Amino acid sequence: MQKNDLEIPIQEPCTCGGKTCGAVRHIEDLSHDVDVLRAELRRCEKMNAEENRKLWYKVGGLIVALAAVLPTGWASFLGLI
């Protein structure tokens, strides 16, 4: 069963021989990494949205070009003839 982030208990770092173990990191230490990953995710989402917009413009231009080149086929497709 998966736990919610708020339900995961925060463990204190272990003290191996009086020193703090390097393998245990607090959630506060990871917050900077989360912020960096969040910013990278937003940047990637914005870049993908821009690429999708450009792709749709190209598809629309191709449809308009085909309609101009093949007017009888386009008209029959629309049921005008």
41 vs 15: CA distance, rounded Å: 36
- The answer to pTM > 0.85 is no
Q: What is the mean pLDDT of residues 32-49?
A: 92
Instruction: For 43-73, write each residue's pLDDT tens digit.
Output: 999 999 999 999 999 999 998 887 777 767 6
CB neighbours (10 Å) of residue 64? Answer: 10
Domain-wise residue ranges, the chain: 5-78
User: Containing H/E element for 8?
Assistant: none
For 15, the 3-state DSSP assignment is strand
